[in-house]
Structure 1
Amino acid sequence: MDPATLILAALSAGAVAGLKDAVTSAIGDAYVALRGLVSNRVADQPHGELALDQFEARPDVWREQLRDALLASGAADDTAVLAAATRLQELLDAEGAGSGTTFHTTFSGNVQGTVQGNHANVTMNFDRPAEPPKR
């Protein structure tokens, strides 16, 4: 994982974890520390602070703008920022949040359907039409 992606993943996962009641103070503290370091680095970049603030609510929309600010500001090369992002990811992984490396699946033979992820709720219909959603 490249450094900018590591930082973005940690910020995104930390923001999501912060929405849960059960977030530990260590995770919350690590997120606040990472966000502060990133904020200091991107403050001089055009729209850097805006991208960081908006990334929490809309990571899909603001990811590239924040990535650009991280790269232009040197945050992706800052050892303190990278250490903080790594630490947050480690804490989140210990809590079971995963950083994209939780699941390792190998398929052999015919597979009609599969679900991979935490807390998945999926209905699969094979050899019959799907039932319309209940209203």
Structure 2
Amino acid sequence: MDPISLIMGALLAGATKGSGEAASSAVMDAYAAFREALKRRLAGRKPAQTAIEEYTADPDTWRPAVETYLQQAHVQYDEAVLAAASAVLGAADPVGAAGGRYAVHIYGAHGVQVGDRNTQTNHYGSTPRATD
């Protein structure tokens, strides 16, 4: 999973599984720590903070804005935020976490695609010449 998707997934998982009486204390604690780490990273970026709050209520509408704000703040390189996001997803989905579903290891990669049931075609280098 790429770092931005990990963060956005943790936002939704924590908002949905970290609320209500049925929520486990592990999810709620992990989500609170994640939100605090994210808040520190986005300090002074009020539009980004507002977009994140709106995203948890309406993900489809706010996804592009949140992705942009997170990238502008270089959140994808913040190890504390990534670790906290992984903890949320691990608490919310222990089976998926144990299977490596939320592991992020993308260093110097080209043509990376993360997710389930994807298709990707990559063409590197120069365009092949047509043959006679």
For the aligned residue pairs, the C-alpha RMSD in angstroms reads 2.2
For the 8 Å contact 1:45–1:72, the answer to whether it is kept is no
* Greater than 6 Å deviation, 4+ residue runs: none
Is 1:23 the counterpart of 2:26? The answer is no
- 1:88 alignment partner AA: V
Give TM-score scaled by structure 1 length. Answer: 0.65
Unaligned runs of 5+ in 1: 106-135
CA distance in 2, matches of 1:43, 1:61: 23
Give TM-score scaled by structure 2 length. Answer: 0.66
For the 8 Å contact 2:19–2:28, the answer to whether it is kept is no
Higher relative contact order (CA 8 A, sep 6+): 2
Percentage of pairs with the same residue: 37
In the TM superposition, what are the counterparts of 1:80-99 in structure 2 within 5 Å?
80-94=80-94
Q: Shift of the alpha carbon at 1:95?
A: 7.5
| Bigger radius of gyration among the two | 1
For the 8 Å contact 2:18–2:28, the answer to whether it is kept is yes
Cα displacement string for residues 6-25 of structure 1 (whole angstroms, at most 9, x for unaligned residues):
00001111101123421111
